[in-house]
Copies of this chain bind each other. A is one copy, B any other.
Amino acid sequence: MKTNPSLPTADRLLEAAESLFAQKGFYGASIRDIAQCLSIAKSSLLHHYPSKEKLYGEVLNKIALEMTEEVRRIRQSVNDEREQLRQFIRLLWENSQNKPNRENIIIREMLDNPKRADKVKKWFFVDYLNELTGIIRSGQARGIFKPVVPEVFIFQLLGAHRYVVISMPTVKQFFPAETYKKVVSEHTRELEAFVGERLFVK
């Protein structure tokens, strides 16, 4: 794992932590390994982040802020909610290519959250989800979306996408190469068809 050497140490640690937490999960990744990515001592990491939990929290927080901001930008740049969703699906796909760690960490967080969550007042991704359900509600108010339950629809859309993304390495390994190619090329098309048929009023 390489990090950008021109960044401050604290930011490079966030990068390395994001990558290792994504690969191995909270328990599987050790702060020694994370520090080792920058060739610094573990105690130096603990100088920047007082505990492993805090470091993990900062990683989640950074991801959640970035993702929320991305959706807000889409909502501001276009008015039509149908186009907002199309752009959102494109964004999902781009991020799964450019920032593949995100999907892994988010899903791991959902799995581990019930055991850690009592310490957290507000969950990292509430804002993000509210932005997304906001798009649905707004479209429904204008009569161009069917009356689905916004939360269900968004969770299913995100699930359909993220599950495919985290499945990719497995598909690549255990299924024919042709199958893998088809999954990659047809995935977003299918997502768009799902949204179009299930949500958009004809």
Q: What residues make up the interface of A, taking CB atoms closer than 8 Å to B?
A: 23-28, 104, 107-108, 110-115, 117, 122-123, 126, 148-149, 151-153, 155-164, 166-167, 169-171, 173-175, 179, 182-183, 186-187, 190-191, 193-194, 197-198
Contacts and interface: CB of A to CB of B under 8 A. Distances in A.
A127 to B, nearest CB: 11
Chain A binding site: helix, strand, loop or mixed by DSSP?
helix
Given A122-B174, A123-B173, A182-B149, A23 B115 contact: yes
A93 to B, nearest CB: 13
Top 4 nearest A-B pairs (CB, nearest first) are A159-B163, A156-B160, A27-B28, A27-B27
A107 B108 CA distance: 9
A11 to B, nearest CB: 25
Given A25-B27, A160-B156, A151 B122 contact: no
Copies per complex of this chain? 2
Contacts of A111: 25, 104, 107-108, 166
Contact of A197 (B107, B166, B173, B198): B198
Given A28-B27, A198-B198, A151 B170 contact: no
Nearest to A188: B152
Contacts of A191: 156
A108 B27 CA distance: 13
9 contacts: A107-B163, A114-B170, A123-B170, A151-B182, A151-B183, A152-B190, A156-B160, A157-B160, A198-B198
Given A126-B174, A149-B183, A191-B156, A24 B27 contact: yes
B190 A156 contact: yes
A194 B156 contact: yes
A25 B170 CA distance: 18
A171 B117 CA distance: 12
A158 to B, nearest CB: 6
Contacts of A171: 151, 155
